[in-house]
Chain A
């Protein structure tokens, strides 16, 4: 039986691991991303996502080197995103140890990019990330540029479009919930998991292990991801995994 996945997200800004609160990336957690990987219990986490959240693309080559080093320590799937704007760069990210690509702003601006990557590397290699924000009327809209730019596309519509263009997975974050410690935006996630047939990864807002469980049981996500919480608790990934397994949820045993 296929298991749900527990995913640790590492946000890298200018080569350093940072915390994210409402998409502001100011607190530096680790000066070297390799320390973040080492701090996880290697055997408890099911997948690692590393995102380059730098404000500009000036250090994207350095970031490839970071991926290269991380992959040497990483015997779980490694998904990588941030500033992937062409096939050549995507290929280099993969050649340096990434298994899957996470794309966001460029995919929104050039939807054909999703199909292009899917044809080159297979659908299973392409994760479309959507940063959603709620407007005053209560509707969820996609944003781009790390949440700084609002689009006129409803999150749910973009999710479905991304699937039809060839995305193999969706990575759904909620700006309103990011770093707010109240758990995932379950309503948003549920609306998406109900209308797409590809796996959905939940992200943003986890502060307790139960929040992770809610992502599976309430929202129907295939995988639950978090960033900050794994950096601040000792043996965090192992504790999270134990909690989820003790609830009887379907995760890979450690």
Chain B
């Protein structure tokens, strides 16, 4: 059973549709109460919008504590887009905000690094799988995934980078630390490659 954390932002329905594409009978439920997270075997932290606003809502709902308790038990967590960025230590999106600090790193604006490319980074870009992982099973290396973001995750430890993507800078597009995963792209909007990614997560 997969818990899709609902804190008022994000296109949860598309994630649900994509998870069920290869697993028609999959039990996936949107969860807006932190106490219920323990009833699920996997957790997805979605997210669109601004970092400060999102992390505040995550804390207000006590999702942060619940997530920590569950991942210690070995449950898998997947952060998508802003949900991945919230795994970081801190973000510099409109000020400075503390993240969940589950994977050490900082979230920075593309404009801090690049000047000659259009921002936001919107569209399909390829992901270079820097190491093998069961989450990437049966997905061709350098497949295109759909991105839509202005900030990127800068990992402190390269060992936590599972996939990287070039947009003026080589940024971490998939991160992994133990049972915690994050994807900067939207697997639920990335057609075949994305649907396989979701399938692999379901089958972890």
State the A residues within 8 Å of B (CB).
Answer: 1-5, 42-43, 46, 68, 71-72, 74-78, 94-100, 119-125, 168-169, 197-199, 222-223, 252-253
B190 within 8 A of A: yes
CB-CB contacts below 8 Å: B16-58 with A: 17-18, 21, 48-50, 53
How far does the alpha carbon of A110 sit from the alpha carbon of B51 in the complex, in Å?
25
How far does the alpha carbon of A198 sit from the alpha carbon of B190 in the complex, in Å?
22
Residue of B nearest to A220 (CB): B118
Return chain B residues, CB-CB under 8 Å to A123. Answer: 120, 150
How far does the alpha carbon of A219 sit from the alpha carbon of B153 in the complex, in Å?
32
Which of A68, A169, A223 has the most CB atoms of chain B within a 10 A radius of its CB? A169
B125 within 8 A of A: yes
Return chain B residues, CB-CB under 8 Å to A94. Answer: 11, 48
Return chain B residues, CB-CB under 8 Å to A119. Answer: 50, 53
Return chain B residues, CB-CB under 8 Å to A95. Answer: 11-13
Residue of A nearest to B49 (CB): A122
A-B contact pairs, 24 of them (CB 8 A): A1-B125, A2-B121, A2-B123, A2-B125, A2-B147, A5-B123, A43-B191, A75-B18, A75-B190, A75-B195, A78-B189, A94-B48, A95-B13, A96-B13, A97-B11, A98-B11, A99-B186, A99-B189, A124-B48, A197-B118, A199-B118, A199-B120, A223-B123, A253-B144
Determine whether the beta carbon of A121 is less than 8 Å from that of B49.
Answer: yes
Residue of B nearest to A127 (CB): B122
Determine whether the beta carbon of B124 is less than 8 Å from that of A72.
Answer: no
The smallest C-beta distance from B121 to any residue of chain A, in angstroms, reads 7
Return chain A residues, CB-CB under 8 Å to B166. Answer: 1
Contact of A99 among B11, B49, B125, B191 (CB under 8 A): B11
State the B residues within 8 Å of A (CB).
Answer: 9, 11-14, 17-18, 21, 48-50, 53, 82, 117-126, 144, 146-150, 166-167, 186, 188-192, 194-195
Return chain B residues, CB-CB under 8 Å to A197. Answer: 118-119
6 additional contacts (CB under 8 A) given A5-B124, A125-B48, A168-B148: A1-B166, A3-B123, A75-B21, A75-B190, A168-B122, A222-B122
How far does the alpha carbon of A231 sit from the alpha carbon of B30 in the complex, in Å?
36
Return chain A residues, CB-CB under 8 Å to B21. Answer: 75
Which of B13, B190, B194 has the most CB atoms of chain A within a 10 A radius of its CB? B13
Residue of B nearest to A193 (CB): B118
The smallest C-beta distance from B3 to any residue of chain A, in angstroms, reads 18
The smallest C-beta distance from B103 to any residue of chain A, in angstroms, reads 21
Known: A97-B11, A197-B119. A124 touches B148 (CB 8 A): yes
Contact of A76 among B12, B117, B125, B189 (CB under 8 A): B189
Contact of B120 among A46, A77, A124, A223 (CB under 8 A): A124
Determine whether the beta carbon of B123 is less than 8 Å from that of A71.
Answer: no
Contact of B14 among A42, A99, A198, A222 (CB under 8 A): A99
Return chain B residues, CB-CB under 8 Å to A74. Answer: 14
Return chain B residues, CB-CB under 8 Å to A199. Answer: 118, 120, 122-123
Determine whether the beta carbon of A122 is less than 8 Å from that of B119.
Answer: no
How far does the alpha carbon of A89 sit from the alpha carbon of B122 in the complex, in Å?
24
Determine whether the beta carbon of B118 is less than 8 Å from that of A122.
Answer: no
The smallest C-beta distance from B91 to any residue of chain A, in angstroms, reads 13
Determine whether the beta carbon of B191 is less than 8 Å from that of A3.
Answer: no
How far does the alpha carbon of A4 sit from the alpha carbon of B119 in the complex, in Å?
14
Return chain B residues, CB-CB under 8 Å to A223. Answer: 123
Determine whether the beta carbon of B119 is less than 8 Å from that of A77.
Answer: no
Determine whether the beta carbon of A122 is less than 8 Å from that of B50.
Answer: yes
